[in-house]
Every structure is written in structure tokens, then in C-alpha cells.
Amino acid sequence: MMFSHIDENLAKNEAEYLLKKRRNKVKRVIAFIIFSAIVLSVYTTAVILNAVFNSDSLIARTVRVNILENNGHPIVQTIITICLGFLIITLVHFFIRLLAIRANKRRKTIVTITASFFKYIGYIVVLVILFNVWSLDTAILAAVIAAFGIALGFGAQGLVSDLLTGLFLIFENSLQVGDIVSYKDYRGEVEEIGIRTTKIRHVNGNVKVVNNSELKVFVNMSIHRSVAACDVVIEYGENIERVEKIISGHFTEVAEKYPVITEGPIYKGLVEFNEKGVMLRIIAKCHETERLQLERDLNREFKMLFDKNKIKLAVPKIKLVQ
């Protein structure tokens, strides 16, 4: 009952996390649609006013210079540049991410990091345009670039390391979006691989953000099929040959009942003798995302099988000394 309660809490947390994530995504989409509608309305109005009024009129010249040609006051140019830059970056980022839908994990990973890279490049381009809008003196611009270069030399070593590590992880096929990994006792699914960081989501919904350069030692559990193990301890008085025959005869039914099993179940034999009894091991291969649940299912199946066939499971022996 206690473990059932824990599983219910984890499932509830997972559902709440997915619901919250979906709501936030819907809010962002609605906000972007409203923003795009405003920008489109402004430009549509400008085109109509420029067409209706005489080209030499004040309204037509104001609209044409400030909006259509974006050659008016620097403040107006800055607002227009930022709005258009944000709109273009978001749309291109969205269409790049569309390529990851129904794609394999490798393609999805490459698309994710490409979208992240484009976003940063887009911000840099917008910043360069803003420098040009305000007609900054070349000496000032050179000084800013020089200062930025010095800061980059001292402070961006970690950024370069994160970028290179992320690229090596992807192109060496060490890590992909959707993989289940274990990193410093933290186990979860790789949700996103960016230029600087990798996001790993735990089953309870928590997301761990790790710098790519820190992913020097981790365990990728999705490269090969995982093994779900079911260890049962029977009493010493049980007939091993009889028990093995009953177990093996139940494998076909278990495999049909649980489609997540990709290989097995397989009886591995007698594992050890201990103070309680004889330990037998049964395994089945599956995807890592299904392993924990499959282990619970196997435990349940073979407990019911043993009860049905009057096979006694070992229990701890208590010795009283007077």
C-alpha cells in the first residue's frame, strides 16, 4: 500500500507538471498571436494610409518614413527593429522546431540545438542593427568590441567548453533528446540539449539544468535495452525442478500480457543461498522508460503464480534464545 501511494503521488505530480507545461505553452502562443496581430495591423494600416493619402501629405510621409521605410527617429526605429526581430526569430525558431515532430531522437536533438543556435545568432544580428540605428561612433563601437573581446577571452571559456561538449555529445551519438540518463544519482529523461545546457527531467516533474561541460561522466540507459529483474526467494524445502518448470511454463503468457517486453522473460537460474532461502532470478528486456513498472509487474505476476501453485516464498526466520 505504501509503494502504491508513492506511485500515485508520482503519477499525480507528472500529470500536474505536463498540464502546467501545456498551459504555459498555450499562454505563450496566445501572447505571440496577439503580438503578431498588433504588428500586422500597424503595417497594414500604414500601407492603407500611404495608398489613400497623397504621397506628399504629412500623414503619408510620416507613415512611409517611420514605418514602411523604418528611417525615422532612432527611438521609433529601435522599437520597430526589436519588434520585427522578435517576430522573425520566433517564427523561424518555431518552423525549425517543427522539423523535430515525429522525427527520430538523433534528428530531434540536432534540430533542437540548431534552433537554440539560431536564436542566439538572431539576437546578435538585432544588436548590430541597433548599433547602426543609433549611428554610434566607430571609435565607441571599436572600444565596445575590444572590451567584449577581452571579457570573452577571460569569461567565455566555460561557454566555449559548453558549446564544444554539446556538439561532441550529439555527433558522437552519446546523448540525444528522449534518452534516459543517470547523472550524479539523478535519473531522468533528456528534455532538451541547448548550446550551453542540457535539461534532464525527473519522473516527478523536476527539471535539472546541467552545463554541457559538466557532463563528463554520466550513464545513458537508452543506448541498449534495459533489464528488468525479478528476484524471488523460495524456501529450502521446495523442489527446485518443479519450481523451474512452473516458472518456464508461464513465460509465454507473461510476454503476451506485457507488450513492453522486447526479449524474454528469461530464467537466469539460482542466484544465491541466503539465511531466508534460495534466490531465483527472472529477467526481461525492455526500454529504460518501462523498466521500473515492468519490474513491479513481474513481481506481481510471479507472486500470483507461486500462490496458485502452492510454492512457498521464504520469510525471515526469527530465532528466540532463552
Question: Could you give the CA distance from residue 48 to residue 54 in angstroms, rounded to a whole number?
Answer: 12
- Over residues 2-50, the pLDDT tens digits come to 344 444 554 555 566 667 767 877 888 888 889 889 888 988 888 888 8
What are the extents of the domains in the chain? 2-133, 136-223, 226-308
How deeply is 294 buried, as exposed, middle or buried, from its count of CB atoms within 10 A (0-12, 13-18, 19+)?
buried
H/E stretch holding 152 reads helix 138-155
**Given the C-alpha cell 513498472, which residue does it identify?**
293
* The pLDDT value given to residue 2: 39
- Over residues 113-134, the pLDDT tens digits come to 777 778 878 887 888 788 788 7
How deeply is 129 buried, as exposed, middle or buried, from its count of CB atoms within 10 A (0-12, 13-18, 19+)?
middle
End-to-end CA distance of the chain: 36
* The pLDDT value given to residue 258: 92
Who contacts 76 (Cβ-Cβ below 8 Å, separation ≥6)? 66, 70
- Over residues 68-87, the pLDDT tens digits come to 888 878 888 888 888 888 88
Q: How far is CA 232 from the centre of its chain?
A: 36
Helix (H, G, I), strand (E, B) or coil at 273: strand
H/E stretch holding 232 reads strand 226-234
- Over residues 134-153, the pLDDT tens digits come to 776 656 656 766 776 666 66
pTM of the model: 0.55
Q: Which residues is 219 bridged to in the sheet?
A: 182
* The pLDDT value given to residue 1: 39
* The pLDDT value given to residue 12: 58
Give the residue among 195, 200, 201, 271 at the shortest CA–CA distance from 231: 271
pLDDT tier at 318, thresholds 50, 70, 90: low
Q: What is the DSSP string of 36-89?
A: HHHHHHHHHHHHHHHHHS-TTSHHHHHHIIIIIS--S-HHHHHHHHHHHHHHHH
- Mean pLDDT in the chain? 81
Question: Could you give the CA distance from residue 315 to residue 276 in angstroms, rounded to a whole number?
Answer: 6
Query: How distant, in Å, are the alpha carbons of 123, 148, 161, 196, 281 from that of 156?
Result: 17, 10, 8, 11, 52
- In CATH, which of 3.40.50.1220, 3.30.70.100, 3.30.70.980, 1.10.3720.10 is domain 226-308? 3.30.70.100
Tell me the mean pLDDT in the region 84-97.
Answer: 85
Q: Which residues is 281 bridged to in the sheet?
A: 231, 269
Question: Could you give the CA distance from residue 88 to residue 267 in angstroms, rounded to a whole number?
Answer: 59
* The pLDDT value given to residue 8: 53
- Over residues 175-234, the pLDDT tens digits come to 888 888 988 888 888 888 877 888 898 877 788 899 888 888 888 888 778 889 999 999
129 HSE (CA, 13 A, CB side): 18
Tell me the mean pLDDT in the region 229-248.
Answer: 92
Sheet holding 278-286, edge to edge: 226-234, 278-286, 263-273
Query: How distant, in Å, are the alpha carbons of 41, 50, 69, 173, 179 from that of 45?
Result: 6, 8, 14, 51, 49
* The pLDDT value given to residue 322: 58
**Bond prior to 259 in cis (omega within 30° of 0):** no
Instruction: Say whether domain 136-223 belongs to CATH 3.40.640.10.
Output: no
Give the residue among 40, 36, 38, 43 at the shortest CA–CA distance from 67: 43
How deeply is 165 buried, as exposed, middle or buried, from its count of CB atoms within 10 A (0-12, 13-18, 19+)?
buried
Q: How far is CA 7 from the centre of its chain?
A: 22
